[in-house]
Amino acid sequence: MKTRTLQTLRTITQIITLAAFMLLVIAGRSQLWLAVFAVFGIVLSLFAGRIYCGWICPMGTALRAETWIFKKLRIKRKTPKAAALKHYWFRILFLVGFLALLVPMMRSGDKQPVLLYLTGASVLVSLFFHEAVWHRVVCPFGTILSITSRISPRKMRVAKEQCIGCSKCEPVCPSMAISKEDQGKKREIIAHECFLCNNCREACPVAVIDWKNSKT
Ligand code: SF4
Ligand code: SF4
């Protein structure tokens, strides 16, 4: 399928899933979204990667819109160094903290729209920082999927032999998941941080990025 068509499909999916999430919030049933995350997040990530983050997550959708607005207004946010995004302990800490709040709340029957609060927090954090800070440091759902998606055989990959090292794919990645190989200019993708948003495929002038099985 053409990248442009995929982007349109992704936008439509994000609008529909965001509307579904808001309906659950209005009905006071937002915690049901955890079932959506379990199926379309965790289960899907085991064999197809983090489609949930790039196509379904309300936070991902809100941050996509926010980044689009910032780009239009040419406002720059603080971009962390790639190495700073690799400290896994912060992520685990945020995840444990989130679960320590969520589990007792659910057990007591408290119907606070925690996921809506979390979406608000993601927008707030991303007012100041590149959205990758939320996706790769703070978001508890992102942390879970960055673990489960590691076993997925299907990943976004750069065909290294054909990459011309132009770097056009790097700045369009919402997850800062694209970096230079250890030696040289060719790019590679950290697959377990990739949301399958297709921005890089759209930007690549020589079409060398593809979503493939590891054995192909
Ligand atoms: S690596 Fe490409 S497909 Fe994956 S999140 Fe970054 S831009 Fe999107
Ligand atoms: S845009 Fe394509 S050719 Fe350019 S660095 Fe990225 S993968 Fe390589």
Which pLDDT does position 107 carry in this prediction? 84
Tell whether 175 and 136 lie within a shared domain: no
Question: Which of the listed residues 98, 118, 148 is the one where a domain comes to its end?
Answer: 148
Residue 203 has, within 13 A of its CA and on its CB side, a CA count of 16
Other Cβ atoms closer than 10 A to 118: 18
Domain identity same for 78 and 113? yes
**Mean pLDDT confidence for 88-111:** 89
Query: What average pLDDT does range 79-86 have in this prediction?
Result: 89
**For residue 174, which amino acid is it?**
P
Nearest CA to ligand 2 atom 8: 163
- Compute, in angstroms, the gap from residue 187 CA to the centroid of ligand 2: 6
Confidence at residue 79, expressed as pLDDT on a 0 to 100 scale: 95
CA distance 10 to 170: 20
Q: Name the nearest CA neighbour of 11 among 207, 202, 145.
A: 202
Tally of domains within the chain: 2
* 66 and 155 share one domain: no
How much of the chain exceeds pLDDT 90, in percent? 80
Rounded CA-CA distance 150/192 in Å is: 5
Mean pLDDT along residues 192-216: 90
Q: How would you classify the pairing of strands 209-213 and 154-158? A: antiparallel
* Gap between the Cα atoms of 58 and 21, Å rounded: 7
Q: Who wins on pLDDT, 57 or 2?
A: 57
Statement to judge: residues 16 and 121 lie in one domain: yes
Q: Where are the beta strands (DSSP E) in the chain?
A: 154-158, 178-180, 187-189, 209-213
pLDDT of 182 higher than 80: no
CA dihedral 25, 95, 146, 54 (to 10 degrees): 20
**Ligand nearest to C-alpha 55:** 1
Six-digit token string for 96 = 């444990």
Structural domain of 52: 3-148
Query: What is the predicted pLDDT for the residue at 73?
Result: 96
Mean pLDDT on 192-197: 96
pLDDT bucket at 216, cuts 50 / 70 / 90: very low
Average pLDDT taken over every residue of the chain: 93
pLDDT, tens digit, 9 for 90 and up, residues 130-149: 999 999 999 999 999 999 99
Choosing from 123, 148, 173, the residue where a domain stops is 148
Residue 8 pLDDT exceeds 50: yes
Residue type, 116: L
Query: Both 11 and 30 in a single domain?
Result: yes
Is there a single domain that holds both residue 117 and residue 160? no
Are residues 40 and 125 part of one domain?
yes
Q: How far is the C-alpha of 135 from the C-alpha of 21, rounded, in Å?
A: 19
Q: Give the pLDDT score at 215.
A: 53
Q: Cβ distance 154 to 48 under 8 Å?
A: yes
Where does the pLDDT of residue 23 fall: very low under 50, low under 70, confident under 90, or very high at 90 and above?
very high
Answer yes or no: do 89 and 7 share one domain. Answer: yes
Whichever domain contains 154, its CATH number is 3.30.70.20
Q: How far is the CA of 57 from the centre of ligand 2 (A)?
A: 27
Protein residue with its CA nearest to atom 4 in ligand 1: 194
| 148: region left, alpha or beta (phi > 0 left; psi from -120 to 50 alpha) | alpha
Q: Which of 126, 148, 170 is the last residue of a domain?
A: 148
Q: Is there a single domain that holds both residue 144 and residue 157?
A: no
Q: Are residues 28 and 130 in the same domain?
A: yes
Residue 6 has pLDDT above 70, yes or no: yes
Q: Do residue 7 and residue 104 come from a single domain? A: yes
Write out the H or E segment, with its range, that includes residue 138. none
Question: Is residue 165 predicted with pLDDT exceeding 60?
Answer: yes
At 169, list the tokens: 């794919």
To test the pocket of ligand 2, the residue of 169, 198, 200, 211 to mutate (highest count of ligand atoms within 8 Å of its CB) is 169
Mean pLDDT (whole number) for 158-187: 91
Nearest CA to ligand 1 atom 2: 200
Query: Do residues 185 and 91 both lie within one domain?
Result: no
Give 30's DSSP letter: G
